[in-house]
Amino acid sequence: MRLFLPVLVSLAFVLPVSAQVKVPESQAEISLSFAPLVKEAAPAVVNIFANRVVQQSESPFRGNPMFEELFRGFGATRPRVQNSLGSGVILSDDGIVVSNYHVVGMATEIRVVLTDRREFEAEILLADQDSDLAILKINSDTPLPHLTLRDSDGVEVGELALAIGNPFGIGQTVTSGIISGLARSGMATGNARGYFLQTDAAINPGNSGGALIDAKGQLIGVNTSILTRSGGSNGVGFAIPANLVARYVEQARAGNETFTQAWAGIYGQAVDYSLAEGFGLSVPEGVVITSMHAASPFATAGLEAGDIVLSVDGQPVNTPAEMLFRMSVRPVGGTIEVEYLSDGEIQTVDVDLIVAPDTPDRDTRTIRGGTLAGLTVANINPAVQSELKLPTSVSEGVVVLNIDGPLARVGLRVGDVLSAINGDVVETSKDVDEASEARSRNWRIDGVRGGQRFSYRFRI
């Protein structure tokens, strides 16, 4: 008997929008037909064709689960063009388009095709792999059809939802359903700001970047993935909320090429039933802070490890992903209102939204000579920790940023935290630079990866 486990499948595709068409205003009108609503919304959703050149290994071990990692870098590589088909949603008459990162990320050529068959070259203004969002810009001599973003915090379970896209490349398709759930986290592509709306409107591969709209034709989410056993829709689809999309558009218009997110500097976990009993809560709720960086704005505001964050800006948070989402939709430089439980008392405090401090100096070094030539390392500080998504508990030491040359075959990876080289403790990037000068044939590199210790031994 075969056991099929749920698999996350990325989607991909389109939509349109026309002018001067009456939108249904009552439940009676909606129940008669969705046609006026679709005619109004559809022209704002577009086809996206993206190409990128990748280097494909010709190693005889490629695809072999046992030897591929061991012989990484073995054999020649050759360029290959990868194509992707997805969709995007026009959000302004001057050509701002939102899509998924997995559709256009790293693309060298992007074409946007409207429902009236006009084609445009597009440029990426801002792209973020963690949230699976990309903001594009196309230029048109005439105003473009576009959708209005709705405040997604007001979306409720049971609301009518329409998904418009191009499943399996068969052409534009509209499906209807309801909002099945809110605050779904860790379910779809990307997870650093993973917080999704769930819908049972049929979404299939080919819908990525398509629009999820409400009964007024407003965009409430950008379709990004499905949960499936077969590769087709099982009625469990996920969309990135419009409020997060709005923040990305705002930063893209401001000229940001990467998304600037507020830094929390804390590590937490959802409060389950057993933890709730221990903290004296009648029901499980909130996120308990398990560790905290000394420079965390939460620490500055008076919170401590062991406190439970109950809500942010009046919105309950029950997972770390929800908490990060609430911080992501607020601008850096402002504040958020945090309600938390400490020593049995509920308190409220304002927490500053700051970027991760780049202090102390990261002192990035690329080793130029010796056995470790080609290795790039840096001292860990909050900014480095945030960029590489290291655990909050890893607040000091030396981390690997890049590996080139023969050392790439040893097994080291980006994000590895080095603790010792040939038995000598490594505390700074300078220590790694000096260790590379050692004259030895037998080498040993010790470190930590994902909370697990490792040790690599090799001979030159």
Q: Which of 10, 102, 152, 214 is catalytic?
A: 102
Q: Give phi and psi for 296, each to the nearest 5.
A: -60, 135
What Rg, from alpha-carbon coordinates, does the chain have? 25
CB 341 within 8 A of CB 328: no
Give the CB-side neighbour count of residue 269, counting CA atoms within 13 A.
10
In whole angstroms, give the CA distance from residue 380 to residue 373.
20
Query: What residues contact 108, with CB distance under 8 A and at least 6 apart?
Result: 51, 52, 53
Determine the 3-state secondary structure of 157 from DSSP: coil
* Annotation marks residue 33 as catalytic: no
Q: Which of 99, 152, 208, 225 is catalytic?
A: 208
Which amino acid is present at 293?
H
CB 368 within 8 A of CB 243: no
Determine the 3-state secondary structure of 290 from DSSP: strand
Q: Output the six-digit token pair for 335.
A: 């504040």
* Annotation marks residue 132 as catalytic: yes
Beta strands in 140-275 (DSSP E): 160-165, 173-184, 196-199, 211-213, 219-228, 237-241, 266-270
Determine the 3-state secondary structure of 154 from DSSP: helix
Which amino acid is present at 460?
I
Determine the 3-state secondary structure of 32 from DSSP: helix
Using alpha carbons, select from 96, 97, 120 the residue that is nearest to residue 110.
120
CB 152 within 8 A of CB 197: yes
Distances (CA, A) of 439 to 427, 442, 443, 458, 460: 21, 9, 10, 14, 10
* Annotation marks residue 10 as catalytic: no
Q: Which of 132, 200, 307, 433 is catalytic?
A: 132
SS (H, E, C) 84-111: EEEEEEECCCCCEEEECHHHHCCCCEEE
In degrees, rounded to 5, the angle at the alpha carbon of residue 327 between the alpha carbons of residues 321 and 330 is: 145
- Any idea which residues carry the catalytic annotation? 102, 132, 208
